[in-house]
Structure 1
Amino acid sequence: MDQKIVTCLMFSGQAEEAIRFYTSVFSPAEIEQIVPQENGIMFHATFRLKGQRLMAIDNHIDHHEFTPAMSLCVTCDTEEEIDRVFERLSQSGKVLVPLGSYPFSKKFAWVEDQYGVSWQLSLG
């Protein structure tokens, strides 16, 4: 059964670059569809990260910032995976909560990536 609610990320001209980055960070991952506008700028895309379907769009009219008030929570299967994902997402980004052990998780981190998207990572 397909998801009934799908998270949609709106970028200001970087959507295709961002989803290509995300699909290189997570596994399994795939780009399902990219629908370009006539001028070659991405209009709409669907992609999957670890089985979760997401959408991305580009908005060239208004600029909207992402905020950590809404984040994507990812459960990593191994320590190698959480270390690798944390490293990739925090490059050119910002660490909001350092990777470490916390009362609620053996290993957890919260990062804002280079595109401004907020990610909570935990070891499953």
Structure 2
Amino acid sequence: MGKVTPFLMFQDGKAEEAMNYYISIIDDSEITSIVRYGANEAGDEGTVMQAAFSLKGQEFMCIDSNVKHQFSFTPSFSIYVTCNTEEEINTLYQKLIEGGQALMPIGDYGFSQRFGWLNDRFGVSWQLNLPS
């Protein structure tokens, strides 16, 4: 068996914008490869046929779907981030919530001193935790 990698399918040509946003707000992150659709190919020219990026060493793959689906992302699958400081969790939450939706605003939920769960502006779900 080869690697196991989380795979994100974006619609409406948002994959590259999302990757660039994520690597701009999370240190030690980068886009490692992008293959774009060319002229007369199955997807819109210039959109992401397949890309790879890493966030703090965790690799992800993504695409811009060339087919419009009746589904998108779900909070049932989320990116879980363990933060080191209160400032870090607050800053990351504020950046990710812009244009997004709070599922559990940052708070003390008993299982964690500081925890927040949200969907970002691209529909991707994030859980942010500051362990006690």
Question: Which bracket does the TM-score occupy, shorter chain normalised?
Answer: over 0.9
TM-score scaled to structure 1, two decimals? Answer: 0.93
Structure with bigger gyration radius: 2
**d(CA) in 1 for partners of 2:86 and 2:35?**
36
Pick aligned residue for 1:110 from 112, 117, 131: 117
Runs of 4 or more consecutive aligned structure 1 residues displaced over 3 Å after TM superposition = none
Q: Distance in 2 between matches of 1:43 and 1:76?
A: 32
Could you tell me which of 71, 74, 83 is aligned with 2:81? 74
Report the Cα distance in structure 1 between the residues aligned to 2:85 and 2:16, rounded to whole angstroms: 28
Match of 1:31 in 2: 31
Q: State the SS of the aligned residue for 1:24.
A: helix
C-alpha deviation, 1:79, in angstroms: 1.3
Between 59-68 and 111-120, the greater mean CA deviation after superposition: 59-68
**Identity within the alignment, %:** 46
Matches within 5 A, 1:93-108: 93-108=100-115
| Stretches of structure 1 lacking an aligned partner (at least 5 in a row) | none
Q: Counterpart of 1:21?
A: 21
Bigger mean CA offset, 91-100 vs 68-77: 68-77
1:44 maps to 2:43: no
Query: Hey, what's the Cα distance between the residues in 2 that align with 1:35 and 1:19?
Result: 13
Q: How many residues matched?
A: 122
Once the two structures are TM-superposed, the CA of residue 104 in structure 1 deviates from its matched residue by: 1.1
| Secondary structure, aligned partner of 2:108 | strand
Q: SS of the residue aligned with 1:86?
A: helix
Partners of 1:50 and 1:79 in 2: how far apart?
A: 18
Q: Deviation of residue 100 (structure 1)?
A: 1.0
Q: Which moved more, 1:36-45 or 1:83-92?
A: 36-45
1:84 aligns with 2:112: no
Aligned residue number for residue 55 of structure 1: 61
What is the alpha-carbon distance in structure 2 between the residues aligned to residue 50 and residue 102 of structure 1? Answer: 26
Partner Cα distance (1:105, 1:5) in 2: 28
CA distance in 2, matches of 1:103, 1:121: 15
Compute the RMSD of aligned alpha carbons.
1.3
- 1: distance between equivalents of 2:79 and 2:3? 17
